[in-house]
Copies of this chain bind each other. A is one copy, B any other.
């Protein structure tokens, strides 16, 4: 059967070819990603598949994704190579709408705030891979949400999807913009705010747990926690550094704090 490919000049393909996908959408590529999209019932706006690149299992996945996606188009290997950010084309690429999460009164990311609630706040994050790794840590640790302030990395960067292992689609993620907006919400909801500050005298392991909702704040890769956060009432905690490095990678620090 001859397949009518949709060409790279077709406006339905153009969002895949732009340097950045449209706001609120992320590019997901490959077999693992597509199994994950189907597992979590992701909102696939457009699914592209390249029959020439697909083997048997890939073809089955393409059929399932075609049924699930809002729209699905076959493309040539040449067009797929232009769409793909990878060196080896998998033949499967989707434009996926990211869910929108909210923080309200007594609720965050669709779940009630309670004394055992833990959230992570990442301030000034610069790199998409770190943002993705932070989301993955929040998911794995059972923390309720990742709040962002002074964000620099793009949430829609495809590396966020990859580094989060797809958990960007299921982990409550709220961009507060200014720290004071986030702080106002935290204070109103009765959170204790723990800033991760190198050199703070209190060890992160040395604290009560579960008597109040807790927000851990980790800073940017280059500059740590911003002055804006330091002016919010907080407890300063440190991860003891026994070697020559003055800090940990931000996702590693978040993992140590959240699993500690």
| Chain A residues at the B interface, C-beta cutoff of 8 Å | 40, 129, 133, 136-142, 163-167, 170-171, 239, 241-249, 251-256, 259-260
Contact = CB atoms under 8 A, between A and B. Distances in A.
Contacts of A142: 242-243
A167 B249 CA distance: 13
Tell me the number of copies of this protein: 2
A72 B93 CA distance: 49
Contacts of A255: 248-249, 252-253, 255-256
Centre residue among A137, A142, A245 by max chain B CB count within 10 A: A245
Centre residue among A136, A164, A251, A256 by max chain B CB count within 10 A: A256
B133 A243 contact: no
Contacts of A248: 136-137, 140, 255
8 closest A-B pairs by CB: A142-B242, A139-B243, A252-B255, A256-B259, A133-B249, A255-B256, A139-B245, A140-B241
5 contacts: A137-B249, A139-B243, A140-B239, A140-B243, A252-B255
Contact of A249 (B163, B166, B171): B163
A109 B213 CA distance: 43
A205 B69 CA distance: 43
A164 B249 CA distance: 9
Contacts of A170: 243-244
Contacts of A139: 242-245
